[in-house]
Amino acid sequence: MAEMHEGQQRDRTALVLYGSETGNSQDVAEELGRAAQRLHFVTRVCEMDQVDINSLLLPTFLLFVVGTTGQGEFPRNARKLWKSLLRKRLPADCLALVKFTTFGLGDSSYPKTDPVTDTARFNWAARKLHKRLEQLGAKEVYPRGEGDEQHEEGIDGTFLSWFADLRRHLLSCYPIPPGKSEIPADVLLPPPYTVAIREAPSTALESRSIADPSHPAASNSGRSDTHVNTSPSPALSQDNSSTSTETMDNARSSKNQFSMRADWMPEPEYQTDTRSQLKGDANDPDSAHADSEIFPPKDMLPIPKSFDAKLIRNERVTPASHWQDVRLLTFHVSEDRAYYPGDTVTIFPKNYPADVQALIDLQGWNDVADLPLVFEAQAPDYFGAENLVSKPPGLVPLEDSTMRELLLHNLDITAIPKRHFFNLIAHFTDDLMHRERLLEFTNPMYTDEFFDYTTRPRRSILEVLHDFPSVRLPWKWATTIFPPIRGRQFSICSGGVQQDCPGIHGKIRLQILVAIVKYRTVLKKIRQGLCSRYIAHLTPGSTLAVTMTPNLAFYKAVEASVGFPIIMVGPGTGVAPCRSLIWHRAAEAIEYPNQNRDMVLFFGNRNKQADYFFEAEWKNPTLRTEVFTAFSRDQREKIYVQDLIRRQGKLIHQLLSKNALIIVCGSSGKMPLQVRQAFIDVMEEYGGPWESRQHVEKTFEFLEKRGQYLQETW
């Protein structure tokens, strides 16, 4: 039987590999995997780092889906394979039997350019991968595709047409075997992941009762607590490189030995009253219930490489009357979790029990909601190839998890649904009108209607199921139907002396600055991001399981700039890594007092009175930072950070003549491109009449290449 399967695998197989930071590449890869299945390919979809070079030789063809992160880098789950492909001893024809294509997910606002080809490093990781595979002898089976997050229709703006042509090409190159036909789109594919009841209902009910917290078996021994608000809930809410990490950690440990006098008051272990911090929008119908809404249960997920972070403060730094709620969160973490400017911390949000119960009621899952589950591995002929999988990538459930716990901790029922979601749930309704409407959303011809219904109003999966109440989903398919909740990364905004915890042994302080996502769309109800809603209601004393990610490019650039000036551009919450760097250098100045520590910060926001973050700190002379501000709404003429850069052109030119490091942080989109243009304008204006525009742009590209111009955007 095994030999038959291996033979079948050699004859008609597809391997879809993805490198993804945010999950978008994974979504695209899974869509390609389903398409290959419908063409009768034995298909495997997995992260790039789950395979080695030898595995690339086995399938009939390969599909790579790769995003770009940081300064033109590969996602973390793709770097191991990429590094192995770069080995110099690899024969030039070692992949001669490989047939492949790639699809890249990029952002056209990314400014970095290739100094050799003079082309923008848009989709840089996918392009590098494609070129390297060809260098090793692999044959392109179809021209690569490139998606752009800045497209008005997102990645779909380019992916859909590329995907349709690829499918036709595969059918031409690899005809359907005799006696078979392509599996139609209206035929349901087997689920890649399913769950089942672990034990008999009577035994399970005796051993656990989530619905009744007073039940003696309801206490989960051995699980860390998250102290949260557990007041009664309101009615249903429908909102919704070459340097190793070890080496870098060793270098960082020496950097955290500095001490510095500052006016920091010792913090209490935790604050007990945050009502003033949690005021909602007066126009928000949910704001009256903000303090009484049930928060998710206390269990912490066993997230790999996670550690405990105890929330000490959750303070709003913008006025309660201001439209934008921005929070400064202060955590205490173990002293062995020392961090460096540019590093990020990942928080894993949870759903609210009111929303979860609404879904359970809507789907009729109450009988199984509180029974422990087992994750079932599926037959390799359908999905797993030689490696069986029982859980989706990124799903880290509690031990003996129930359906309710999966929905609370692991499955994102507030996500904006993808096209495939509509195709899937259309199979589980007996209402012909509902089925027809759901299938319309899967048709590329109705892209505008799809975006009008989902992306533009930010309609959630839960809201879709309320709109189509005839849909009854099989609970066994829950881990196939709902995407996993993904962690959200936030730049650490503390550094230097701010890491000290006076009077608290073995702990250091960690802070993040978070803008709460809360807005109105064409739907009447206010929209809130899952993580924003979670953070907004976190109470001091809560303990979270978080992970930390070092930023190697940031670290190397800052280390290379010791003794040189730094120019920082950080509008809005983009000031977070800039603040971390400012305090870090202030601490370093104690050990190296004679080194050049000139720093300039360009900060922008809407209103000085409402959102001038850390205004008081910038007056501290020990920071040696000159701050220039642009508040776009405080005068008739809008002023932005790029305007300030041009106004301070002489100063900028002087600092650049001293080999200053430039760091740009904040939202992606127009800002990074406009800021880059402003720096080029300054260099052209103050470089003298002999400096042509073309020469200035080449010089700027050289700064980017050697890491003297760093962009950290999200």
Question: Cβ(382)–Cβ(388) under 8 Å?
Answer: no
Q: Residues 6 or more apart from 103 whose CB is under 8 A from it?
A: 28, 32, 63, 64, 65, 66, 126, 144, 145, 146, 147, 159, 162
Structure tokens at 75: 């996602």
In angstroms, the CA 611 to CA 632 distance is 11
In angstroms, the CA 530 to CA 443 distance is 28
Question: 475: which DSSP letter?
Answer: G
585 phi, psi to nearest 5 deg? -70, -30
In angstroms, the CA 14 to CA 41 distance is 6
In angstroms, the CA 637 to CA 618 distance is 25
In angstroms, the CA 443 to CA 382 distance is 25
Alpha helices, DSSP H only, in 86-123? none
Question: Cβ(240)–Cβ(463) under 8 Å?
Answer: yes
Order of all β-strands in the sheet with 507-515: 488-491, 344-347, 543-549, 307-316, 326-334, 507-515
SS3 state of residue 14? strand
Residue 217: CB atoms within 10 A of its CB come to 12
Residues comprising the binding site for FAD? 458, 488-491, 529-532, 714
SS3 state of residue 244? coil
- 458 conformational bin, left if phi > 0, alpha if psi -120 to 50, beta if neither: left
Structure tokens at 679: 């720096």
Strands 61-67 and 99-106, sheet pairing: parallel
Residues comprising the binding site for NADP(+)? 573, 632-633, 638-642
Question: Cβ(482)–Cβ(411) under 8 Å?
Answer: yes
In angstroms, the CA 219 to CA 209 distance is 9
In angstroms, the CA 581 to CA 576 distance is 9
Residues comprising the binding site? 20-25, 149, 458, 488-491, 529-532, 573, 632-633, 638-642, 714
DSSP 567-611: EEE--GGGHHHHHHHHHHHHHHHHHSTTS---EEEEEEES-HHHH
